Amino acid sequence: AQSVTQLGSHVSVSEGALVLLRCNYSSSVPPYLFWYVQYPNQGLQLLLKYTSAATLVKGINGFEAEFKKSETSFHLTKPSAHMSDAAEYFCAVSRLTGNQFYFGTGTSLTVIP
Amino acid sequence: NAGVTQTPKFQVLKTGQSMTLQCAQDMNHNSMYWYRQDPGMGLRLIYYSASEGTTDKGEVPNGYNVSRLNKREFSLRLESAAPSQTSVYFCASCWDRDQPQHFGDGTRLSIL
């Protein structure tokens, strides 16, 4: 069963514009949530994680995400896009039991100069 | 800091050949994972090992076997490669489910 849904497989923004990448999870119990970034020909790198300490999570490179239990969402945002933000972004969850992680299908971000 | 090291980085096989993908981590992590990444499908879990001495199937285990050789090493074996196994394979490790995974740089495998 799909645990993570990323809406929009491709997102394009202008340099300096707001970045919004969407992630929804399906779980009756709030899981652990992660955002990763993947640059071409590289592995995934952690951007940020939510583990119930705070609903607004700040990550690296100016990214942040807000956990909204009522909407089962964990959307990723950045106020001002930079050319170097062009990459593939993955949302992932793990549950409170078991050791598996579940990944969304990814969103490719293009930044237009 | 090496992190997660995967070998080889690239490989081309013929249908029916076998090979083993190697993964090693130097962070003393308990759990290790093998994923495959295909266009439009994200990362799909093949097998994982929650701790040394244990392995479990993930979403797409058919055609693969794994060995958790010790705490550091987790290998993935293709016994009889098929073109459908052409993919990019990633190894990852972590302390526990509430901790982020650390990924290797991937193995790009083509099966002709």
Dump pLDDT digits (tens) for A68-105. Answer: 988 999 999 999 999 999 999 999 998 767 778 889 99
For residues A18, A61, A111 and A107, what is the CA-based torsion angle, rounded to 10 degrees? -90
- State how far the Cα of B68 lies from the Cα of B51, in Å rounded to an integer: 9
Tell me which of B97, B99, B108 to substitute to probe the interface with A (most A C-beta atoms closer than 10 Å): B97
- Residue B98's pLDDT band (boundaries 50, 70, 90)? confident
Asked if B48's CB is within 8 angstroms of A49's CB, the reply is no
Q: In this predicted structure, what is the pLDDT of residue A51?
A: 78
Q: What would the mean pLDDT of A35-63 be, rounded to a whole number?
A: 91
Tell me which of A4, A6, A37, A44 to substitute to probe the interface with B (most B C-beta atoms closer than 10 Å): A44
Q: Which of B10, B16, B100 is nearest to A92 (CA)?
A: B100
Q: What is the mean pLDDT of chain B?
A: 94
- State how far the Cα of A50 lies from the Cα of A30, in Å rounded to an integer: 10
Of B43, B97, B104, the CB nearest to A103: B43
Asked if A43's CB is within 8 angstroms of B104's CB, the reply is yes
Q: Which residues of B fall within a CB distance of 8 Å from A101?
A: 33, 45, 97, 101
Asked if A41's CB is within 8 angstroms of B42's CB, the reply is no
Tokens for B105?
């740089």
Q: Check residues B76 and B95 and name the one with the higher pLDDT.
A: B76
| Cross-strand partners of A4 | A25
DSSP characters for B4-50?
A: EEEE-SEEEE-TT--EEEEEEESS--SEEEEEEEETTTEEEEEEEES
Backbone angles phi, psi at A30, to 5 degrees: -55, 125
Is the CB of residue B92 less than 8 Å from the CB of residue B76? Answer: no
Q: What would the mean pLDDT of B60-73 be, rounded to a whole number?
A: 95
Q: In this predicted structure, what is the pLDDT of residue A95?
A: 74
